């Protein structure tokens, strides 16, 4: 096993019963506070994504920005962001998606991507997959292609990977 993965695992803090009873929240703030772990995270992402010849990184609000920004910078490609409604100042494309109880929406500037661009969708956590699937729809709406969806943590027991298929999925840590 790569010792960097072990370093990352040691930096993830479990918070029981947050945000509600029965949930074990995976807290990435210790990872962010450790320069060594944060560098290892970026290095592992770069090793995976550099060979894919990507055209852009699409990062999901808000923790996806933390990993998408340095990834895009290191790869020398643009970063585009996906946000909740009303947060972007220019014309946006919108996708509505289903939550456990109700719906939500995500937006991306209409001029973010060009037809045929190869994109990675980046977020910190893959749980049920709804947000990543909606982001994939936004990317495709602009004519680009999701080559991969990347995550720091994947909660495999929630089956989120199935919602983003057929797009590839890469996770550094799985629980």
Which DSSP helix (H) or strand (E) runs through 165?
Answer: none
- pLDDT of 1 over the 70 cut: no
Residue 117: pLDDT band with limits 50, 70, 90: very high
Name which of 58, 44, 42, 49 is nearest 119 in CA terms.
Answer: 58
Residue 99: pLDDT band with limits 50, 70, 90: confident
Q: Which residues contact 33 (CB under 8 A, 6 or more apart)?
A: none
Which pLDDT value is given to residue 43? 98
**Cα distance between residue 107 and residue 105, in whole Å:** 7
Cβ neighbours of 83 (radius 10 Å): 18
4, 63, 118, 145: the catalytic one is 63
**Domains parsed from the chain with CATH numbers:** 53-174 (3.40.50.2020)
Q: Which residues contact 95 (CB under 8 A, 6 or more apart)?
A: 105, 106, 107, 134, 135, 137, 138, 141
Q: Is 100 a catalytic residue?
A: yes
Which pLDDT value is given to residue 102? 82
Report percent pLDDT > 90 for the chain: 95
Strands 24-27 and 13-16: antiparallel
DSSP assignment of 27-72, as one string?
A: E-HHHHH-HHHHHHHHHHHHHHHGGG--SEEEEETTHHHHHHHHHH
4, 36, 96, 100: the catalytic one is 100
Q: Is 4 a catalytic residue?
A: no
- pLDDT of 33 over the 70 cut: yes
- pLDDT of 171 over the 70 cut: yes
Tell which wins on pLDDT, 1 or 38: 38
Contact 117, 151 (CB under 8 A): no
Three-state DSSP at 18 gives: coil
Contact 153, 124 (CB under 8 A): yes
Global pTM reads 0.95
């Amino acid at each position: 096993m790569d010792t960097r993965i072990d370093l990352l695992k040691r930096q993830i803090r479990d918070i029981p019963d947050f945000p509600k009873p029965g949930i074990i929240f995976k807290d990435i703030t210790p990872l962010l506070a450790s320069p060594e772990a944060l560098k290892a995270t970026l290095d592992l992402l770069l090793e995976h994504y550099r060979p894919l010849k990507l055209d852009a990184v699409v990062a999901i609000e808000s923790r996806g920005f933390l990993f998408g920004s340095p990834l895009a910078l290191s790869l020398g490609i643009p970063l585009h962001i996906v946000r909740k409604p009303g947060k972007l100042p220019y014309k946006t494309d919108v996708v509505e998606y289903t939550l456990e109880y109700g719906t939500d929406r995500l937006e991306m500037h209409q001029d973010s991507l060009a037809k045929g661009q190869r994109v990675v969708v980046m977020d910190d956590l893959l749980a049920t997959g709804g947000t990543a699937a909606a982001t994939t729809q936004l990317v495709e709406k602009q004519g680009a292609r999701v080559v991969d969806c990347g995550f720091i943590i994947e909660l495999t027991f929630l089956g989120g990977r199935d919602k983003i298929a057929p797009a590839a999925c890469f996770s550094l840590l799985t629980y």
